[in-house]
Amino acid sequence: MNELPLMPVRRLHNYLYCPRLFYLQWVEELFVENADTASGSALHKRVDAPSHGVEAIELDEREKLRSVSLSSEILKITGKIDLLETRDNQKTLLDYKRGSPSVDDLGNESAKDNDAMQLTAYALLLEEHGIQVDNAAIYYAAVKKRISVAIDTALKERCIQFIKEALEIAAKGKCPPSLENDSRCFSCSAYPVCLPNESSFWAGQLPEIPKHTQAPRPPLDHGEIIIVQNNAAYVGRKGGEITVSLEKEIVTRHPIEQIQAIYLYGTPQVSTQALQSLMEKNIPVSHFSAAGRFLGMTSGLPTSGVDARMGQYRIFSESAHRLIPAREIIRCKINNQRVMLMRNGDVPDGILKQLATLRDSTAEASDMDQLRGLEGMAANLYFAHFVTMLKGSAFETFDFEGRNRRPPKDPINCLLSMAYSILSKELTGFLSTVGLDPFLGFMHQPRYGRAALALDMMEEFRPLVADSVVLSLLNRGEITKTDFAYTSQGVMLNDAGRRAFWNAWARRLDAELTHPQFDYKISYRRTFDVQCRQLWRFCRGEAARYYGITTR
């Protein structure tokens, strides 16, 4: 592994809280904002008024120096000191924390150990630059108190030892195991990406997860999705807002912090300033043709995740290894197709038995061709009886004689193609976010511009999400033949049809299912993320196998 950069002192604080948190945030560069980290950042913004570095400490005679950046090649750390006060020739080091101090059984308050260690590391940095700290304290904003910390030789030696341990873990290049049933996990900002209980189960460390445990909290990703489908629209930035204008008049304003994604249909224009702001916040802009075909995505730099991508490339080169996730994905897809027909259709028992046999046969598939054959036979049975899931006027109004595409030749195939395109887009984004390469799959062959891994991952979700959205739109009468444009090049949704589609899509992604392994309720949108993170762990060698999503 290449030589590590200097470790930020705040990462020592992470290490003492949880080595896995430290590794995820510093080595993997996976940082998830939550209410606690956001308020902590806000606190530091209020108190930070930067001085001019270590030279200012030596030359400046002011009483207070704030936000002084220091580093040490000896200790291999770097940090930014919140405040250094000088009064009566006594130098006091102060660090700000948003929370509360520790309180013992007698009501005595003291600094938390990881807070004290972070403060000690700052003192060591100052000492190396010739500044001796006389007093040290932590200001806890929740109780508005300074809690003194006695930085003695023993505390400094402990701090140096912890720094060495943290650097050794980082240098090994292997993520530490997750904590088990630890109360710290549920208040940890990294919980949505760490998934401690789930990760232990996937790694084979737990025979099963206790039922009815808490579902994994999602990251702060429930902002609004902005959909722009007017070719005359212009997306720009004004201050901290993204604006949408028509004929130079702003029609909507959206605070950047509240945006989850932007979808553009056709040829709306986007300013460079808006794109740069969105990329800095890692907010993707997805581009679709007027017919709804996913063209690509503009986003910020992907998660580092080099080891996961290297593992992904190794798996692709080993046919036996590729079969492990592929068998499970196709098993789940056939199972979910069967469940859809059982719930919504009128299908002979013999067809359901054939689907069950095909589903169970996936475990014995000896190569990818045999697995694709099983998938193809199941798909033929499923779509041959798809029309039985149409109800009432939808059954009488819409004809469906099987799948066709590029371009779709009838309204149902138009809706299915639209749903599959959006599903592919969703999973492309999630796979990029977790650090995998969306364009190198296990089943779908790589091809220029084709997100093969996203196509793999979407197979188990096609019936449960995409097909369900289409059936909901038709059977509820939310979409009619007037919502389609019929051209010589095929059938596509018009503006009204797309609006109806997006309402149904959002409703489905917010719907909950019972997780087949963990038995908690979880939304489909959150499930996309959890499944991609599971595959990420499989590619890194941290999961023994891949578990797909099925419903009963």
Assign residue 513 the CATH number of its domain: 1.20.120.920
Among residues 178, 197, 219, which one ends one of the domains? 178
Q: Residue 216 has what pLDDT?
A: 66
CATH code of residue 54: 3.90.320.10
- For the cut 90, the answer to whether the pLDDT of residue 199 exceeds it is no
- For the cut 80, the answer to whether the pLDDT of residue 253 exceeds it is yes
Q: What is the CA radius of gyration of the chain?
A: 28
Q: What is the pLDDT of residues 481-522, one digit of tens each?
A: 899 888 877 888 888 998 899 899 989 998 999 988 888 888
* Position 198 in a domain: no
- For the cut 90, the answer to whether the pLDDT of residue 377 exceeds it is yes
Per DSSP, the chain holds a count of helices (H) and strands (E) of: 19, 20
* Position 261 in a domain: yes
**39 backbone φψ class: left, alpha, beta (φ>0; ψ -120 to 50):** alpha
Q: What is the pLDDT of residues 213-241, one digit of tens each?
A: 666 665 544 567 888 888 899 999 998 89
- For the cut 60, the answer to whether the pLDDT of residue 52 exceeds it is no
Q: Residue 220 has what pLDDT?
A: 47
Residues 277 and 365 grouped into a single domain: no
- Tokens standing for 64? 């207070």
Region of poorest pLDDT, from 237-251, 295-309, 481-495: 295-309
Q: Residue 304 has what pLDDT?
A: 61
Q: Residue 6 has what pLDDT?
A: 92
Q: Residue 307 has what pLDDT?
A: 76
With a CB cutoff of 8 Å and minimum separation 6, the contacts of 169 are 15, 19, 22, 23, 176
Residues 368 and 513 grouped into a single domain: yes
Residues 313 and 453 grouped into a single domain: yes
Identity at 290, one-letter amino acid code = A
Residues 334 and 286 grouped into a single domain: no
Residues 120 and 254 grouped into a single domain: no
- For the cut 50, the answer to whether the pLDDT of residue 427 exceeds it is yes
Q: Residue 263 has what pLDDT?
A: 87
Mean pLDDT across the chain, nearest whole number?
85
Q: Residue 31 has what pLDDT?
A: 63
Residues 233 and 334 grouped into a single domain: no
Q: What is the average pLDDT across 124-152?
A: 92
Q: Residue 57 has what pLDDT?
A: 45
- For the cut 60, the answer to whether the pLDDT of residue 33 exceeds it is no
Q: What is the average pLDDT across 25-37?
A: 65
Identity at 101, one-letter amino acid code = P
Instruction: Give residue 448's domain range.
Output: 306-540
* Position 264 in a domain: yes
Q: How confident is the model at residue 371 (pLDDT cuts 50, 70, 90)?
A: very high
**Which of the residue ranges 170-179, 201-210, 271-280 has the most confident prediction, judged by mean pLDDT?**
271-280
Please provide the DSSP assignment of 115-183 as one string.
HHHHHHHHHHHHHHTT---SEEEEEETTTTEEEE----HHHHHHHHHHHHHHHHHHHHT-PPPPPSS-G
Percent of the chain whose pLDDT exceeds 70: 90
Percent of the chain whose pLDDT exceeds 90: 42
Q: Residue 429 has what pLDDT?
A: 86
Residues 321 and 292 grouped into a single domain: no
With a CB cutoff of 8 Å and minimum separation 6, the contacts of 374 are 330, 334, 358, 361, 362, 365
Q: What is the pLDDT of residues 55-108, one digit of tens each?
A: 444 434 457 788 889 999 999 999 999 889 888 888 999 999 888 999 988 889
Range list of β-strands (E), 289-434: 294-298
Region of poorest pLDDT, from 96-110, 144-158, 174-188, 463-477: 174-188
Q: What is the pLDDT of residues 397-409, one digit of tens each?
A: 888 888 887 788 8
- For the cut 90, the answer to whether the pLDDT of residue 379 exceeds it is yes
Q: What is the average pLDDT across 262-279?
A: 90
Region of poorest pLDDT, from 38-42, 331-335, 517-521: 38-42
* Position 211 in a domain: no
Residues 172 and 64 grouped into a single domain: yes
Residues 144 and 67 grouped into a single domain: yes
Domain count, the chain: 3
Residues 533 and 399 grouped into a single domain: yes
* Position 77 in a domain: yes
* Position 190 in a domain: no
With a CB cutoff of 8 Å and minimum separation 6, the contacts of 174 are none
Residues 326 and 260 grouped into a single domain: no
- For the cut 50, the answer to whether the pLDDT of residue 36 exceeds it is no
Among residues 298, 325, 351, which one ends one of the domains? 298
Q: Which of 340, 345, 380, 338 is nearest to 359 (CA)?
A: 338
Q: Residue 124 has what pLDDT?
A: 95
Q: Which of 70, 66, 69 is nearest to 96 (CA)?
A: 66
